[in-house]
Chain A
Amino acid sequence: MDYFLTEEQQMIVETAREIAREKIIPLRAELDEKNEFPTSILMDMAKADLFGVFVPEEFGGLGGGCFEIVLVLEELARGCVGVATSFAANALGIYPVMIAGSQEQKERYLPDIASGRKWAAFGLTESNAGSDASGVRTTAVLDGDEWVLNGTKQWITNGGEAQIYSIVAMTDPSKGPRGASIFMVEDGDPGFSYGKKEDKMGIRASATRELIMKDCRIPKDRLVGRKGTGFITVMKTLDISRPGIASLGVGLGQAALDEAVVYAKQRVQFGRPIISFQAVQHMLADMAIQLEAARALVYAAARHIGSNAKNISKASSMCKVFASDMAMKVTTDAVQVLGGYGYMKEYPVEKMMRDAKILQIYEGTNQIQRNVIGQELNKEYASA
């Protein structure tokens, strides 16, 4: 379907598609098998200017918004969701600076992000703070001109690979969510180290690691925004980043549909291609319907968010839920269409199915998203 992209947006799509075709697809099975971070691919993306897509022009970027990054992530995910996740986590990690950072912080970090010289990561989750983000135990205490951070972050995408980390820590634990703040921690800061690297079911090309802060001392000016506004910034960050996760689902669903249709045309059983059987045709048709509906919702939500609209949480959550549930369903059906071959590692769809699952879990589980949607509905109908 024609989504009326501008010439510039089409260029972005073509560039990301070329990266997926030439750089990601030839390597994805090996990266998955070896649990290996795609350093060289990210450097190729940097050379192609993709890291600058969402960064304002004054800091060396291309000045795109939520919709442009959605277009990039969809194409990258057609290649590999693990690689695409590494790219997405970079944006997630720097959004707090773009949303609430000072001019000095933007000047310090954004040009390096735009050029791809440095990568970012977002440190919110802890062992006891997942869906319940208010469970954060990491603390930050001001000592003279320095903040001293203590705590351990868990399951941090790009952990150990990024150079710039936005870390959520409690500056006033007695105030609950209003006592949280965000700090920029950099690779090499004293007291900052990396812990266990996870061995995951899917998105194995991405790095997921613990961040350990033990009397980690950072300059006073690394606080992002005002003290105590951390959770507000976190919520705003996730509102604009979630359509990105949704678009990973769209790209993945497209890749799975492509594989399934091509296979169904080639595979002959009972003397004819299996695509001629209605049972298979209907599966493919349902996959295509779900996929296109998800794409339309994600694009609409991303354009809505990119227009600087005020109420974006519901649209953001709805597209994340719908597209990630779609990706799980469509990849599972793609494995079914390929039958025994689909279950084997020689074909790419088993990896797609493993990769799909995380989309329903990270950046807020789909259950939490439904909570958000429900709460927003409750507010909208307050007078009813």
Chain B
Amino acid sequence: MDIIVCIKQVPDTKDVRLDPETNTMAREGVESIMNPFDRHALEEAVRIKENLGGTVTALSMGPPQAEAVLREAISCGADGGVLVSDRAFAGADTWATSYTLAKAMVTLGNFDLVLCGKQAIDGDTAQVGPGLATQLSLPYLTCVQKIRTIGDSGLVAERMMDDGYDVVQLPLPALLTVVKDINEPRVPSLKGKMRAKKAEIRVLRAADIHADEKCIGLAGSPTKVVSVFSPKPRGNRTVFTGSPAEQVEQLVAKLKGLL
């Protein structure tokens, strides 16, 4: 089973700033980490490899320093890392990112499964996984909390829902995005860290993936951030007091008044 895991380097959420000029996130000089959901996707991929054999390739699009998360992925069990990096990719929204990653995957060749985290903790869109699957015409399932069975013929997985979960069968190749419940990621191993230190990270430029320049970077992004602001506090607040029973009574009366 050859698996590609999409990994994003994100600013640690403890330390987020916005660039006032562009209204996008300031990434320079901010402590960066592997997107936590992607860590679970990687762990799942490594577990599948340990059971069925095959390879795990970590793929990331980002600036040169994103190489660090690919090395981290290797220390956690990935066989190799590929960085899709070019100035021309800068400013990409989720559509352009999906297009670019899809082009990179086509360039890399055969794979049976693509695993992504549910969403990145910086943009929080949860769009790149499904976007990527659409670009590649792959069946996909989001918010996977468990892979029940997986083999050459396909997989059966549980999709987390608000009120339980769906059990879905997919043929391979397919794309899954995973939630944190799927597993508990391991600590990077010592041998993995040593391997990661020596590993060659393959870098793919825009020309290497034959990307249409109208579809990449800021120019290829239909999304334009017009402004970023904190919403103003809305309306009046009422604090109910008294015993819990009295508070409930007041709340019910208030809600009825709104009808």
Contacts and interface: CB of A to CB of B under 8 A. Distances in A.
B191 A18 contact: no
Contact of A47 (B187, B193, B194): B187
A44 B194 CA distance: 18
A82 B192 CA distance: 27
A315 to B, nearest CB: 27
A4 to B, nearest CB: 19
Interface string A9-38: 001100100110011000000000000000
Interface residues of B, number: 9
B250 interface: no
B59 to A, nearest CB: 24
A295 to B, nearest CB: 22
A363 to B, nearest CB: 26
A62 interface: yes
Contacts of A49: 189-192
B139 interface: no
B23 to A, nearest CB: 36
B192 to A, nearest CB: 8
B186 interface: yes
B187 A11 contact: no
B189 A11 contact: no
Interface residues of A, number: 16
B190 A23 contact: no
A15 B191 contact: no
A18 B190 contact: no
A256 B192 CA distance: 32
Contact of B187 (A12, A15, A53): A15
A12 B194 CA distance: 11
B186 A44 contact: yes
B16 to A, nearest CB: 23
B54 interface: no
B64 interface: no
A371 B188 CA distance: 43
A52 interface: yes
A270 B12 CA distance: 38
Nearest to B185: A22
A19 B187 contact: yes
A296 interface: no
B194 A15 contact: no
A12 B192 CA distance: 12
A18 B76 CA distance: 13
Interface string B7-38: 00000000000000000000000000000000
A22 B194 contact: no
Contacts of A47: 186-187, 189
A50 interface: yes
A22 B186 CA distance: 9
A15 B193 contact: yes
A48 interface: yes
A52 B187 contact: no
Contact of B194 (A11, A23, A53): A11
Nearest to B186: A47
Contacts of A12: 190
A19 to B, nearest CB: 5
A15 B186 contact: no
A47 B189 CA distance: 6
B130 to A, nearest CB: 30
B189 A48 contact: yes
B189 A53 contact: no
B194 A48 contact: no
A53 B188 contact: no
A62 B191 CA distance: 8
Interface in A66-86: none
Nearest to A21: B187
A381 B187 CA distance: 50
Contacts of B186: 44, 47-48
A40 to B, nearest CB: 9
Contacts of B188: 15, 18, 48
A76 to B, nearest CB: 12
Interface string B143-167: 0000000000000000000000000
Given A11-B193, A12-B190, A48-B188, 9 more contacts: A11-B194, A18-B187, A18-B188, A22-B187, A44-B187, A48-B187, A49-B192, A50-B190, A62-B190
Closest 3 pairs between A and B when the two form their complex, measured CB to CB: A49-B190, A49-B189, A18-B187
Interface of A: 8, 11-12, 15, 18-19, 22-23, 44, 47-50, 52-53, 62
27 contacts: A11-B193, A11-B194, A12-B190, A15-B187, A15-B188, A15-B189, A15-B190, A15-B193, A18-B188, A19-B187, A22-B187, A23-B187, A44-B186, A47-B186, A48-B186, A48-B187, A48-B188, A48-B189, A48-B190, A49-B189, A49-B190, A49-B192, A50-B190, A52-B191, A53-B190, A62-B190, A62-B191
